[in-house]
């Protein structure tokens, strides 16, 4: 077994388990999302049609005699669960009545398919919500399930890059050539899974697996983030110092909908932490556990990169559908007796977690059997253009598609190699 020197990642990414880059070439740096429209995500349907953000005539098809209403959800700078909550609240429905095929970025302009239970299309069409647009509602037999898509198409602007245009062009080509030599880009779970400014989601998940509900709530409400408003940070510090739910509620901004749900419950029922947690949407609770699973998976992939130097198939690997995969750990995982599995088991032991903990005792409706995830991501239809901007710097516009579950920011980090705060 040969260990090869890889380029270390940014310290914040280390906290997410993303320990290395796959490429050595210097990054082009720059910034993403100076405007949400600089980061466009358009869902690719199972029939391979792309839901174009600007195509107001796009249709999902004719009405069917079903009890679900299927629609196109366009959102701009709105977090996915928040968008679902706002739609459900406006209709007087439960957030769990709305289902989407994939969770989309908050700081972005996104288009995706969704379904809602027993709401007539005309009622959806009449909704007027800030930064949320609903198009093409129709009745259908089928509910949308998570993962029921063929991928996403991205159009991303990298702004404020300094340097020479031709040098920049060659830099990008060199990085993409290195990607080929590495047998792809490591298919890390990206920054959004953990929180780019304060990676805490996996810590919340770990506390839930351990049954430490109060500690999980303290992480969720009290953990401060880099760059957040001082008034928000102050409210969080008050909560951790005093446990005064009412004072914290008065201080927290109204945009923090789910944190406020927990606080309102704790005001009525102090110390009923399970009840407070159950106020959150089930999908959000699942994301916390998924984040811990993702953290383990990222660490395992980083360790494999360190040991083998690239992503090409090795004797140690698990092959599924002719692709190299790594296990996403759950209670049904059957970890092979090898060094990489032992590495994962060692981390679990240090965290005090067994495979049985993934049957979440404190929340019996949540169980995580585990699965496998492809080792490498392969962008399709990748191209880019370079242009000068009014500030005298350079913008790079990148376009590509990814299969479901792969993160555009993982490709961006290879190109840019800058702080995650710029992603």
> Any residues with CB less than 8 A from the CB of 18 and at least 6 apart, and which?
9, 186, 188, 298, 302, 410, 413
Read off the pLDDT of residues 5-33 as tens digits, 9 standing for 90 and up: 899 999 999 999 999 999 999 999 999 99
Of the candidates 224, 251, 220, the residue with the CA atom closest to the CA atom of residue 235:
251
Of the candidates 60, 54, 58, the residue with the CA atom closest to the CA atom of residue 148:
60
pLDDT at residue 388 in the model: 87
Of the candidates 215, 193, 196, the residue with the CA atom closest to the CA atom of residue 204:
215
Contact 417, 8 (CB under 8 A): no
- pLDDT tens for the chain, 423 residues long, are 444 589 999 999 999 999 999 999 999 999 999 999 999 999 999 999 999 999 999 999 999 999 999 999 999 999 999 999 999 999 999 999 999 999 999 999 999 999 999 999 999 999 999 999 999 999 999 999 989 999 999 999 999 999 889 999 999 999 999 999 999 999 999 999 998 777 899 999 999 999 999 999 999 999 998 878 999 999 999 999 999 999 999 999 999 999 999 999 999 999 999 999 999 999 899 999 999 999 999 999 999 999 999 999 999 899 999 999 999 999 999 888 888 999 999 999 999 999 999 999 988 889 999 999 999 999 999 999 999 888 889 999 999 999 999 999 999 999 999 999 999
With respect to CATH, is domain 201-277 assigned 3.40.50.620?
no
Paired with 328 in beta bridges are 371
Of the candidates 388, 398, 404, 401, the residue with the CA atom closest to the CA atom of residue 38:
398
Q: Rounded CA gap, 113 and 155, in Å?
A: 18
Q: Is the pTM of this model over 0.95?
A: no
Q: In CATH, what is the architecture of 287-376?
A: 2-Layer Sandwich (3.30)
For CATH 1.10.1510.30, the residue range(s) in the chain are 201-277
Q: Rounded CA gap, 203 and 211, in Å?
A: 12
Q: In CATH, what is the architecture of 37-149?
A: 2-Layer Sandwich (3.30)
| Tokens encoding 25 | 């070439």
């Amino acid at each position: 077994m040969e260990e090869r020197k890889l380029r270390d990642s940014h310290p914040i990414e280390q906290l997410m388990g993303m320990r290395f880059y796959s490429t050595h070439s210097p990054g082009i740096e720059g910034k993403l999302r100076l405007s949400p429209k600089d980061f466009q995500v358009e869902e690719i349907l199972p029939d391979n049609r792309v839901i174009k953000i600007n195509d107001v005539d796009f249709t999902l098809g004719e009405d069917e005699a079903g009890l679900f209403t299927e629609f196109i959800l366009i959102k701009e700078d709105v977090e996915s669960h928040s968008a679902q909550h706002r739609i459900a609240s406006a209709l007087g429905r439960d957030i769990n009545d709305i289902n989407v095929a994939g969770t989309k970025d908050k700081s972005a302009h996104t288009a995706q398919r969704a379904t809602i239970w027993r709401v007539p299309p005309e009622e959806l069409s009449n909704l007027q919500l800030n930064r949320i647009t609903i198009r093409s509602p129709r009745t259908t037999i089928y509910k949308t399930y998570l993962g029921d898509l063929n991928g996403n198409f991205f159009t991303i602007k990298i702004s404020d890059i300094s340097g020479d245009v031709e040098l920049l062009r060659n830099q990008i080509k060199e990085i993409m050539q290195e990607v080929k030599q590495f047998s792809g880009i490591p298919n890390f779970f990206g920054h959004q899974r953990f929180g780019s400014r304060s990676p805490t989601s996996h810590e919340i998940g770990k506390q839930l697996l351990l049954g430490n509900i109060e500690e999980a709530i303290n992480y969720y409400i009290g953990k401060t983030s880099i760059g957040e408003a001082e008034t928000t940070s102050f409210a969080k510090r008050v909560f951790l110092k005093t446990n005064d739910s009412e004072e914290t509620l008065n201080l927290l901004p109204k945009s923090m909908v789910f944190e406020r749900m927990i606080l309102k419950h704790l005001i009525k029922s102090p110390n009923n932490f399970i009840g407070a947690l159950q106020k959150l949407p089930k999908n959000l609770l699942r994301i916390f556990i998924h984040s811990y699973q993702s953290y383990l998976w990222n660490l395992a992939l980083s360790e494999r990169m360190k040991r083998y130097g690239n992503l090409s198939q090795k004797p140690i690997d698990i092959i599924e559908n002719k692709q190299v995969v790594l296990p996403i750990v759950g209670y049904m995982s059957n970890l092979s007796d090898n060094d990489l599995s032992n590495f994962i088991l060692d981390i679990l032991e240090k965290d005090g977690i067994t495979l049985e903990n993934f049957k979440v005792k404190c929340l019996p409706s949540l169980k995580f059997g585990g699965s496998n995830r492809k080792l490498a991501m392969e962008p399709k239809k990748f191209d880019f253009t370079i242009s000068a901007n009014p500030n005298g710097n350079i913008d790079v516009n990148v376009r590509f598609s990814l299969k479901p579950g792969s993160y555009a920011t993982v490709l961006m980090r290879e190109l840019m190699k800058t702080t995650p705060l710029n992603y």
